[in-house]
Amino acid sequence: SLFYCRFRLYFAFFFNILCPSYLLCASIDRVLITSFHARIRQISTLRLAYLTIAIQPLFYILILIVVIFVTNILQIEPNYFYCYIEPGEFTLILTYISILKEIFIPSLLIIFGFLSVRNIQAMRRVRIVPVSGSNRVVGGQTSNSMRSRDRQFVLMLIVDIVTYILFDFIMPCSLVYEQITKSQTSTIAQTQTVYLIKNIA
């Protein structure tokens, strides 16, 4: 039905933008809690986290409400329907926003990840004090353990960013494809391909 079609696309766009927003907020919080300065660490509070988690969905619900009104349904053949956003200025704007999101979000994740690693390394340099005698071995073991944790943290950040890029780049690709082929007559196979991509996204 048209009702199901509209709300299905609406929530697809909603979660497509909400998930990376939470991921970005988590990266910012990681920078705050790993800061060497106590005042900066104090910014990261449980109250602020709850507030951020609550406000973002409400904001995106209001912003994306337009999707419901520009979504339509097309019957290609008996018992086969295709949900799509009507071509126009909104579709073009949505495509550009999606492309910019795929550029800026990974870039910001990389920047904040680098800042988190730098903060951890700075705190490690301050905490590790050279010792003499028998305690030197213990200090070396502690240093090696911290380096190992740093490497694990960097690996976790890399996996986090790469996973995001792989799974979140599908929706912009489908929107770009629709913009390129909007003036062409699509075959049933092409329409089914776009529909499948959107289902995956």
Whole-angstrom distance, CA of residue 193 vs CA of residue 78: 18
pLDDT tens across 120-144, in order? Answer: 877 776 654 454 444 444 445 556 6
- Among residues 162, 172, 158, the alpha carbon closest in space to that of 200 is found at 172
pLDDT digits (tens, 9 = 90+) for 94-116: 777 877 887 888 888 888 888 88
Q: Give the chain's domain count.
A: 1
Tokens for 12? 């697809």
pLDDT tens across 169-184, in order?
666 666 666 666 666 6
Residues 6+ apart with CB under 8 A from 188: 76, 77
Query: 94 and 10 in contact (C-beta within 8 Å)?
Result: no
Q: Could you write out the three-class secondary structure of the chain?
A: CHHHHHHHHHHHHHHHHHHHHHHHHHHHHHHHHCCCCHHHHHHCCHHHHHHHHHHHHHHHHHHCCHHHHHEEEEEEECCEEEEEECCCHHHHHHHHHHHHHHHHHHHHHHHHHHHHHHHHHHHHHHHCCCCCCCHHHHHHHHHHHHHHHHHHHHHHHHHHHHHHHHHHCHHHHHHHHHHHHCCCCCCHHHHHHHHHHHHHC
Q: Dihedral angle at the C-alpha atoms of 110, 55, 166, 197, nearest 10 degrees?
A: -160
Instruction: Return the structure tokens found at 143.
Output: 């240093």
Q: 96 is in which domain, residue-wise?
A: 2-200
Between CA 23 and CA 18 the distance in angstroms is 9
DSSP code at position 73: E
Structure confidence at residue 179 (pLDDT): 62
Q: What is the pLDDT of residues 62-79, one digit of tens each?
A: 988 888 888 888 776 677
Q: Is the pTM of this model over 0.85?
A: no
Confidence of residue 57 (pLDDT cuts 50, 70, 90): very high
